[in-house]
Amino acid sequence: MLGRTRGGRRPWRRPTSVPVLILAAAASLSACGSLATVAVHNAGTAGATDGQAQRATPPNAVPTAARSAKPTTATTRTATTKPAPTTTTLPLLSVAKFAPVDAATEAQVLTGKAQGVASTTPLSITYNRAPWHGYPMPTISPAMPGKWSQAAPNKLAFEPAGYWQPGTTYTVSVPVAAGAKTKFKFTTQLPPVLVLQQYLAMLGYLPLRFTPTGDIPNRKAVLAKEPANPYLVPQAPLSGVFTWAYADVPTQLWAQWHRAQPNVMTTSAVMEFEDANGLAPDGQPGPLVWHALLQDIAKRATDPNPYNYVIVSEALPETLYVWQDGKFVYNTLTNTGVNGANTPLGTWPVAYKQNPNLMKGCDVNGSCYRVWVNYASYFLPTIGDAIHAYPRASYGFPQSNGCVEVPESQGAIVYGYDPVGTLVTVTSWKGPAQVG
């Protein structure tokens, strides 16, 4: 029977609706993703007959190409690029500027040296950049009380706790890169002569008192108000007055005093102070003198000795006088230089003393000598003139080669009255023992 196979069954035919269903399914899948649409052809394609054994694709099969295809998404990824790490290289730490703030000139700053810095001057150090936290602080030598502070991120300031020591050279060592140190130096000013005179008078090395304004004229009371710390003792002149410490002052001594000016009386006081403090008595108020002077002001260490003044009168009979603490306490006959070797007139301090002392020279008639003398106190060492003992048959008129001779019996007495620094005046004035 047509249309039936063996066994009476009809052969299987692909339903015509299958392609539509498959297309619909493919379309549905396509809507869910980016899948390729599968086209399935009808089993009755041109060239195929019902009886031909053409291999057909099962209804639910997916073509090989479609099976191997991977689904893709419609979104596009944006690549994220990490920024490259940045490195900042700091310059090596160095000092851009060092300055004693109120005194250094540009040239002094550039050379690292400044002179004449005032006693209250702060220091300033400017770095080329800010040092990191905890960086070592600068050091000062010799040590000075005070405090470092940060004035700016790259700037330090030092404020002294008191006054820089006078005439002292300080070294500031500033730590910089790689463990190195940059060093700067500055030298402080010496106080003016008026301050020197005020403090010497307070301590009793001058025959005057200095009384600050508002105080009573009492040396101990004045000193009691001074700071007990030498770094706090002022180095600027105080307001006040000088008065003579004694009622009866010889005219020759009075003439040597000049306030706020260098003079032989101040020089002699410096020499006495130096000698009392174990310093070389050159009469120059340098750093060592000032250091000791400020120490003594702070300690209230007054001169333990009386104030002595020697007058050598060339009026006949020639006589040597000692004035001490306001009165004449001693005199003796003496000899000065003969014509051609005259003892100069004037006032000088005793520069040094020696006992015994070898003297050498030639006198005015050409005879040379080499002789030992006792109790020599040189007041004019440049020309070799001294007060000393020397044996003569008589005294009271010119006999020496320029020195001031006293009898051997009086040499030790005079030697005790004229310590280093004592003023000696050679004059034609007549003293009490020569009058009447």
pLDDT for 24 equals 40
pLDDT of residue 178: 86
Mean pLDDT, range 144-158, rounded to an integer: 96
Quickly state the pLDDT bin for 113 (edges 50, 70, 90).
Answer: low
pLDDT one-digit tens code per residue, 373-391: 999 999 999 999 999 999 9
pLDDT at position 384: 93
pLDDT of residue 55 exceeding 50, the answer is: no
pLDDT at residue 54, as a whole number? 42
> At residue 232, does pLDDT exceed 80?
yes
Helix, strand counts (H, E) of the chain: 9, 20
Contact 431, 313 (CB under 8 A): yes
- Residue 247 CB burial class (10 angstroms; 0-12, 13-18, ≥19): exposed
Residue range 84-107: mean pLDDT, rounded:
74
Output the pLDDT for position 108: 54
The alpha-helical segments, DSSP class H, found in 225-315 are: 251-254, 264-276, 287-299
Q: Which of 49-53, 76-80, 158-162 has the lowest mean pLDDT?
A: 49-53
And the tokens for 355? 């006992």
Domains, in order of start, for the chain: 95-188 (2.60.40.3710), 193-299 (no CATH), 308-434 (2.40.440.10)
Q: Which of 110-119, 158-167, 189-198, 245-254 has the lowest average pLDDT?
A: 110-119
pLDDT 10s digits, 292-312: 999 999 999 999 999 999 999
Which of the residue ranges 57-66, 265-274, 281-290, 348-357 would you say has the lowest mean pLDDT?
Answer: 57-66
Rounded mean pLDDT, 408-430: 98
Mean per-residue pLDDT, 9-37 = 41
pLDDT of residue 186: 93
From CA 236, how far away is CA 253, in angstroms rounded?
27
CA distance 357 to 431: 30
C-alpha distances in angstroms, 344 versus 301, 312, 340, 403? 36, 11, 11, 10
3-state helix, strand, coil in the chain (%, to 5): 20, 25, 50
Provide the mean pLDDT of the chain.
84
Tell me the residue type at 380: L
Average pLDDT over residues 66-87: 57
Give the residue with greater pLDDT, 35 vs 238: 238
Q: What is the rounded distance in angstroms from the CA atom of residue 126 to the CA atom of residue 105?
A: 16
Residue 116 exposed, middle or buried by CB count within 10 Å (0-12, 13-18, 19+) = middle
**Which one has a higher pLDDT value, 206 or 38?**
206
The number of residues in the chain equals 436
Binning pLDDT at 50, 70 and 90, where does residue 435 land?
confident
Segment 121-146 mean pLDDT? 95
| Predicted pLDDT at 17 | 45
In this prediction, residue 332 has a pLDDT band, given cuts at 50, 70 and 90, of: very high
Of 61-70, 77-86, 122-131, 235-244, the least confident: 61-70
- pLDDT tens, residue by residue, 239-273: 999 999 999 999 999 999 999 999 999 999 999 99
127 has which bridge partners? 95
Residue range 105-129: mean pLDDT, rounded: 77
Per-residue pLDDT, 35 = 32
In whole angstroms, give the CA distance from residue 408 to residue 357.
14
Choose the most confident range, by mean pLDDT, from 10-19, 48-57, 166-175, 427-436.
Answer: 166-175
Residues 270 and 262: beta-carbon distance below 8 Å? no
Q: Using one digit for the tens of pLDDT, what is the confidence trace for 403-417?
A: 999 999 999 999 999
Q: Is pLDDT of 275 > 60?
A: yes
One-letter amino acid for residue 396 of the chain: G
Which carries the bigger pLDDT value, residue 192 or residue 47?
A: 192
